[in-house]
């Protein structure tokens, strides 16, 4: 199948490569001309055969809005736009209405897989009409892991809503590991903190890919001495908490995890070193190193953790 890919960064670039390896014809566009196949969006649309499919993989908010508006001017009835970024589900509905008025389909797709997705596949949460999703299934089948990892969650907005909740759950899980690490470090009872975490990787009810990544981070930087306890948030945690308020659903764990990230920006929090390290490990997110130190990233040599198919983003 032929598809246009807009945004060839850490996620979009690897997704385009996985699609090419799967036999698809990918025409990529990025603001960086050194990695782009075309000079602009018009050239990308002209290179695609109708009915076209164009995947948008740019930051949520204004960049996605501008891209969708440009595509609305360039595409033809019967074409489809897929938003694979971390857009808000209410924005999806707006984009779907704008494009639908021109006869252009719209599918929102929450994507999870981070820097490991090229090798292991991406978990995909889609929202849109049955017809549009069905037409795009060859693309989804290639991007997803061999087993599972795909859901047509509902109509437009459902994919990003599911991904939003997924990321909220991720906040809570990471915070629990972080707080456990801080308590072990603070006590004089346990002398091998890293070894304790390693022992949990097999046979325990908390074994997980996040635990594997934390062990890897501790192997790279014992005690996480090179990191500052500062953790950014992508915005989806905030949206999850807001949606909980809107639906009167209590989310004490996820809300506390979000507030903990806010607190991390005030002081050098030991627990936030773990959250920062995990975000870097699974998604290649930037970390703040202590002065005079160089923080190791997810691409450090010697990596031996092989994540499962449902890898987090």
Do 150 and 173 reside in the same domain of the chain?
no
> Of 37-41, 183-187, 214-218, 290-294, where does mean pLDDT reach its minimum?
290-294
Please pick, among 42, 94, 144, 163, the residue that the annotation labels catalytic: 163
82-98 residue pLDDT tens: 999 999 999 999 999 99
Residues with Cβ < 8 Å from 27, sequence gap 6 or more? 2, 3, 4, 5, 37, 38, 44, 47, 48
In a domain, residue 102? The reply is: yes
Do 126 and 19 reside in the same domain of the chain?
yes
Is residue 162 within 8 Å of 34, Cβ to Cβ? no
**Measured on CA atoms in the order 83, 3, 311, 282, is the torsion positive or negative?**
negative
128-155 residue pLDDT tens: 999 999 999 999 999 999 999 999 999 9
- CA dist 25 and 84 (Å) reads 18
Do 201 and 259 reside in the same domain of the chain?
yes
Local confidence band at 31 (pLDDT 50, 70, 90 cut-offs): very high
Tell me how many domains the chain contains. 2
Whether pLDDT at 306 is above 50: no
Do 108 and 238 reside in the same domain of the chain?
no
Share of the chain above pLDDT 70, in %: 90
- CA dist 273 and 289 (Å) reads 10
Do 151 and 169 reside in the same domain of the chain?
no
166-211 residue pLDDT tens: 999 999 999 999 999 999 999 999 999 999 999 999 999 999 999 9
In a domain, residue 208? The reply is: yes
pLDDT in the model for residue 118: 94
Listed residues 156, 188, 223: the one ending a domain: 156
**pTM of this prediction?**
0.82
Please report how the helices 158-186 and 252-264 are oriented relative to each other, as an axis angle in degrees rounded to 10: 70
Do 13 and 145 reside in the same domain of the chain?
yes
In a domain, residue 306? The reply is: no
Token pair, residue 249, equals 């659903």
Do 253 and 235 reside in the same domain of the chain?
yes
Which has more confidence, 281 or 94? Answer: 94
Is residue 270 within 8 Å of 277, Cβ to Cβ? no
Do 10 and 97 reside in the same domain of the chain?
yes
Supply the range of the domain harboring residue 196: 165-283
Do 172 and 268 reside in the same domain of the chain?
yes
Active site residue 198: no
- CATH number for position 183: 1.10.1040.10
- CA dist 254 and 260 (Å) reads 10
Local confidence band at 293 (pLDDT 50, 70, 90 cut-offs): low
Do 196 and 140 reside in the same domain of the chain?
no
In a domain, residue 88? The reply is: yes
């Amino acid at each position: 199948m032929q598809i246009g890919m807009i945004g060839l960064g850490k996620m979009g670039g690897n997704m385009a490569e996985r699609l090419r390896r799967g036999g698809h014809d990918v025409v990529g566009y990025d603001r960086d001309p050194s990695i782009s196949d075309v000079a602009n969006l018009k050239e990308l649309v002209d290179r695609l055969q109708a009915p076209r499919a164009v995947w948008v993989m740019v930051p949520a908010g204004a960049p996605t809005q501008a891209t969708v508006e440009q595509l609305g001017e360039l595409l033809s009835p019967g074409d489809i736009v897929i938003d694979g970024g971390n857009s808000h589900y209410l924005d999806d509905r707006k984009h779907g209405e704008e494009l639908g008025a021109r006869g252009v389909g719209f599918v929102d797709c929450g994507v999870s897989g981070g820097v490991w997705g090229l090798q292991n596949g991406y978990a995909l949460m889609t929202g849109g009409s049955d017809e549009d999703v069905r037409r795009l299934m060859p693309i989804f089948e290639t991007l997803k892991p061999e087993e599972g990892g795909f859901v047509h969650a509902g109509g437009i907005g459902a994919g990003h809503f599911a991904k939003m909740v997924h990321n909220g759950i991720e906040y809570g899980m990471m915070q629990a590991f972080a707080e456990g690490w801080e308590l072990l470090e603070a006590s004089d009872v346990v002398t091998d903190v890293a070894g304790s975490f390693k022992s949990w990787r097999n046979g325990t009810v908390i074994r997980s890919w996040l635990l594997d990544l934390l062990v890897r981070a501790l192997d790279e930087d014992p005690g996480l001495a090179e990191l500052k306890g500062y953790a950014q948030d992508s915005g989806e945690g905030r949206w999850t908490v807001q949606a909980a308020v809107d639906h009167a659903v209590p989310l004490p764990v996820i809300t506390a995890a979000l507030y903990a990230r806010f607190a991390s920006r005030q002081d050098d929090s030991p627990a936030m070193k773990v959250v920062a390290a995990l975000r870097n490990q699974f998604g290649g997110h930037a970390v703040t190193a202590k002065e005079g130190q160089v923080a190791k990233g997810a691409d450090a040599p010697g990596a031996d953790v092989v994540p499962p198919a449902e890898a987090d983003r």
